[in-house]
């Protein structure tokens, strides 16, 4: 079952057993501290996914979906929320039985030809993508059923029309997305589709279905309560509380075989228990001697440094393009933790690419008080697969990774874009609308009268091979002398 934050916090506060110990030497303490940082990084996705599942918004909706139909500015439960899709979040506890998930036929767009993009990104407790059904892989014309089967679940007696998704962990999540053009009529239609994403618990022994649980619909992100964001919740956890969470969660979300080297080294060095609902360390007093008072800032800085290193190493033309193992991290624990902190979970590259920019072509930090241009030569727009619902967009985010209080949130491939006489396409990133009113569709607004740093995220949903193999890369952001 899930471990609630209140339960685990209480466990962390239990008095320590009286244990005779010898204070570790400084070399031993240095080694233990490094192992603690390694283990913190390793367990981070597990802890933050559980924290998200137990947030104020989702905790009452375990084993069902919560759908947010429209984007909004400011803090939201989804970091870097976009205006391209409705979001559906489902967090499932498979320890009590398998789960049947059904989705409707998502049909075509208004042209009657283009499939409506959708995806049910399915994650294990470590935020690795274990399945990605959607418009890229499944045909239009009928709904689909999926059976989420936990590590100890049986496949006998499952509905014959259900595709089995085997999860190695009891905690399993689905992050769903459905394309919307943002108009009132389309949002209403997408709401009808989202309400047909159903979850049905199956009996632990027979897989016979229980009562189907409807999707909880939130019409607009602006209607959500203000909550402490899961990354902030985790960052504020004291050392013992964090590892109490991790140890309890490991009881039902076991490490992969590939993790054995880390377990044989760092776990054994710390005497950390891979399953404890009380004390996570065999010798907690000795461990406590080696953990500095600035532990929280130490591990926060570690993740930030890893983020900057990964982003800088993978930057091309102002844009950071994530490594190929995104969504399927293997033993790349630093990358997995960084992604978990920044966006919780990322799609595999064949489902979506997310080039992101925080600097211009001169490597200067983007500033909302400046103006920039992004020009795509003729025939060089972001390459997406329209035949299976693919599309692209560029979205402006504040320094806190929230949508800004701007006139519009994004420039999208299905907007009525204006091309130059040479066939090129230029996006104007600036506070004011272009003086030429005909170019307003090409305008990506930044926050007016604001000098703070910002970022731009490009999304290429279902990219073509040219983007996947690196033959196509985004053009640079050029600082303009003045607004257009």
Q: Is the pTM for the entire model greater than 0.95?
A: no
- Looking at residue 17, its pLDDT comes to 41
Burial call 148-175: b when 16+ CB within 10 Å, e when fewer = bbbbebeeeebeeebeebbbbbbbbbbb
Paired residues of 119 in beta bridges: 134, 177
Strand-strand pairing, 118-123 and 216-218: unpaired
- Looking at residue 447, its pLDDT comes to 85
Distance CA 267, CA 186 (A): 51
Q: Print pLDDT tens along the chain (484 aa).
A: 444 444 444 444 444 444 455 678 877 899 999 999 999 999 999 999 999 988 866 656 789 999 999 988 877 666 788 889 999 999 999 999 999 999 999 999 999 999 999 999 999 999 999 999 999 999 999 999 999 999 999 999 999 999 999 999 999 999 999 999 999 999 999 999 999 999 999 999 999 999 998 899 988 887 777 777 889 999 999 999 999 999 999 999 999 999 999 999 999 999 999 999 889 999 898 898 999 999 999 999 999 999 999 999 999 999 999 999 999 999 999 999 999 999 999 999 999 999 999 999 999 999 988 999 999 999 999 999 999 999 999 999 988 888 887 789 999 999 999 999 999 999 999 999 999 999 999 999 998 765 689 999 999 999 999 999 999 999 999 999 866 6
- Cβ 170 vs Cβ 93: under 8 Å: yes
- Cβ 361 vs Cβ 477: under 8 Å: yes
Backbone φ and ψ of 304, nearest 5°: -65, -40
Length, in residues, of the chain: 484
């Amino acid at each position: 079952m899930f471990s609630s934050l209140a339960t685990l916090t209480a466990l962390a506060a239990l008095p320590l057993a009286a244990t005779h110990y010898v204070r570790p030497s400084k070399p031993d303490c240095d080694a233990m501290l490094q192992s603690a940082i390694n283990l913190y990084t390793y367990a981070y996705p597990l802890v933050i996914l559980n924290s998200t599942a137990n947030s104020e918004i989702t905790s009452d909706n375990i084993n069902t979906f919560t759908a947010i139909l429209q984007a909004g500015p400011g803090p939201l439960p989804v970091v870097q929320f976009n205006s391209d899709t409705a979001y559906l979040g489902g967090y499932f506890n498979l320890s009590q039985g398998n789960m049947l998930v059904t989705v409707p036929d998502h049909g075509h767009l208004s042209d009657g030809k283009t499939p409506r993009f959708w995806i049910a990104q399915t994650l294990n407790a470590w935020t690795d993508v274990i399945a990605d059904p959607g418009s890229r892989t499944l045909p239009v014309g009928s709904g689909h059923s999926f059976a989420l089967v936990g590590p100890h679940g049986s496949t006998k007696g499952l509905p014959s029309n259900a595709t089995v998704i085997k999860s190695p962990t009891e905690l399993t999540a689905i992050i769903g997305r459905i394309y919307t053009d943002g108009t009132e009529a389309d949002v209403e239609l997408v709401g009808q589709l989202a309400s047909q994403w159903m979850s049905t618990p199956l009996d632990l022994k027979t897989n016979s279905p229980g009562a189907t649980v409807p999707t909880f619909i939130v019409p607009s992100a602006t209607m959500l309560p203000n909550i402490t964001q899961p990354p902030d919740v985790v960052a504020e956890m004291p050392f013992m509380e964090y590892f109490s969470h991790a140890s309890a969660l490991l009881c039902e979300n076991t490490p992969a075989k590939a993790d054995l080297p880390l377990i044989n080294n760092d776990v054994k060095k710390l005497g950390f228990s891979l399953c404890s609902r009380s004390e996570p360390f065999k010798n907690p007093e000795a461990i406590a001697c080696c953990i500095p008072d600035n532990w929280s800032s130490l591990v926060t800085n570690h993740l930030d440094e890893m983020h900057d290193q990964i982003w800088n190493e993978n930057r091309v033309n102002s844009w950071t393009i994530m490594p190929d193992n995104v969504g399927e991290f293997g033993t790349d624990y630093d990358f997995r933790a960084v992604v978990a902190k920044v966006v919780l979970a990322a799609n595999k590259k064949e489902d979506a690419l997310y080039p992101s920019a925080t600097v211009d072509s001169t490597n200067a930090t983007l500033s909302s008080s400046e103006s920039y241009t992004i020009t795509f030569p003729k025939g060089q727009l972001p390459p997406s697969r329209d035949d299976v619902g693919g599309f692209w967009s560029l979205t402006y985010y504040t320094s806190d990774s929230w949508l800004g209080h701007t006139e519009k949130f994004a420039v999208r491939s299905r907007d009525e874009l204006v091309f130059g006489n040479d066939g090129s396409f230029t996006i104007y990133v600036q506070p004011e609308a272009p003086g030429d009113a005909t170019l307003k569709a090409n305008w990506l607004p930044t926050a007016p009268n604001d000098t703070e740093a910002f970022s731009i995220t490009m999304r290429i949903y279902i990219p073509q091979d040219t983007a996947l193999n690196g033959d196509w890369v985004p053009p640079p952001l050029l600082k303009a002398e003045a607004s257009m």
